[in-house]
């Protein structure tokens, strides 16, 4: 088994190679990903790959990696989601850095990027990592990490029960969404950051902002302009207008106030803070910030992240993770999905 330092160097070398969009292995994986049945665009894939590999320097990896390897490595199975490009990279890196064996299953919507990156690392140092069919995963592993919908979480728990994988050896993440809280003083740059938070990846990620809280009477026009500017740089996937058209027609039929991009590249509606289908952002008004605090605390088990202006973070005062506008699509290497730390989970398996 290679030392942690050898694995760190191999990851960092691979990441440096993947920072070049013309690198042959990255280019091939991106091309195959664009051919798959997903909602990814070339621009969104480039953003996701660039953002994640930019975090994988030697110093950052050494700071995140555990200090020692386990006496008895375990087989850790990972059921990866397919809603975002390059999804599952953090779990993969955590497992190989922790000295365990990785057995992963990728979605047909994103079948190429993670296996290609893993294979590139394997060409530099031996790592215990394989990709298998999901139907074969549970009977081969000692522990499971899974990310998906609430239905997926129930299915995974059932299969773990059948395979004798105890609850303490499961890390199962279910559906979550993110929220923005405005105070009406946001700059144009901050609103453009929020556009990225909400619209990148067509709204399918758990870190995508689905609900925007704003002071009563505050106009959403500046945010709509920011949405339009974002779409000029990150065009919507070809399937987005058709999906949004159905929602826009419903809002029209019931007389709900809403606005949308000229080509239906985005949709914003006013109403109660209810999460809408991906790509449809809800604008909800508050008269007192206490309303927002109470709603956030009531829904904290479903909220991944709250983003707001720097000056508003202290005013919210919740026990949720609160970041700044523009942070949601740029998670740190050691971020904790569903507030559960994957490195701690892996360390506790021994």
- 177-324 maps to CATH 3.40.309.10: yes
φ/ψ of 227, rounded to 5, equals -60, -45
Contacts of 224 (CB under 8 A, 6+ apart): 259, 268
DSSP secondary structure string for all residues of 219-282: -SHHHHHHHHHHHHHSPPPTTHHHHHHHHHHHHHHHT--EEE-TTSS-EEEESSS-PPSTTEEE
- Domain residue extents for the chain: 4-175, 177-324
Query: Residue 1 above 80 pLDDT?
Result: no
> Would you tell me the crossing angle of helices 42-53 and 24-35 to the nearest 10 degrees?
140
Q: What is the pLDDT of residue 68?
A: 82
**Which two structure tokens, joined as six digits, stand for 76?**
């850790």
- Tell me the pLDDT tens digit for each residue of 21-71: 999 999 999 999 999 999 999 999 999 999 999 999 999 999 999 988 888
- Tell me the pLDDT tens digit for each residue of 164-191: 999 999 999 999 999 999 999 999 999 9
> Could you give the percent of the chain with pLDDT greater than 70?
100
The number of beta carbons lying within 10 Å of the beta carbon of residue 229 is: 14
The residue behind tokens 């699509």 is 329
What CATH number was assigned to the domain covering residues 4-175?
A: 3.40.605.10
> Could you give the percent of the chain with pLDDT greater than 90?
92
The mean of the pLDDT values for the chain is 95
Q: What is the CA radius of gyration of the chain?
A: 21
């Amino acid at each position: 088994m290679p030392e942690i330092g050898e694995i760190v160097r191999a990851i960092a070398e691979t990441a440096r190679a993947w920072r070049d969009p013309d690198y042959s292995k990255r280019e091939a994986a991106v091309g195959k990903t664009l051919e798959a049945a997903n909602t990814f665009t070339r621009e969104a894939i480039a953003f996701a790959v660039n953002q994640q590999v930019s975090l994988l320097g030697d110093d950052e990896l050494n700071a995140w990696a555990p200090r020692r390897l386990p006496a008895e490595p375990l087989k850790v199975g990972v059921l990866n989601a397919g809603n975002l490009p390059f999804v599952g990279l953090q779990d993969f890196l955590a497992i190989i850095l922790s000295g365990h064996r990785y057995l992963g299953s990728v979605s047909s919507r994103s079948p190429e990027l993670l296996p290609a990156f893993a294979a590139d690392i394997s060409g530099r140092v031996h790592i215990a990592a394989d990709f298998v069919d999901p139907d074969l995963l549970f009977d081969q592993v000692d522990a499971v990490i899974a990310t998906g919908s609430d239905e997926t979480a129930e299915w995974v728990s059932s299969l773990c029960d059948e395979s004798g994988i105890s609850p303490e050896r499961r890390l199962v993440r279910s559906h979550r969404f993110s929220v923005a809280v405005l105070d009406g003083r946001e700059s144009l740059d901050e609103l453009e950051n929020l556009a990225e938070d909400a619209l990148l990846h067509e709204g399918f990620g758990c870190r995508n902002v689905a609900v925007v809280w704003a002071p009563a009477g505050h106009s959403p026009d500046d945010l709509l302009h920011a949405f339009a500017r974002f779409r000029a740089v990150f065009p919507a996937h070809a399937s987005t207008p058709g999906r949004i058209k159905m929602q826009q027609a419903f809002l029209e039929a019931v007389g709900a106030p809403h606005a949308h991009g000229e080509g239906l590249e985005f949709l914003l509606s006013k109403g109660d803070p209810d999460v809408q289908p991906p790509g449809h952002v809800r604008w909800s008004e508050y008269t007192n910030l206490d309303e927002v605090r109470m709603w956030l605390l009531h829904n904290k088990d479903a909220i991944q992240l709250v983003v707001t202006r720097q000056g508003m973070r202290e005013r919210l005062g919740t026990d949720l993770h609160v970041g700044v506008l523009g942070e949601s699509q740029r998670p740190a290497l050691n971020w904790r999905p569903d507030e559960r730390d994957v490195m701690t989970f892996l360390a506790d398996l021994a």
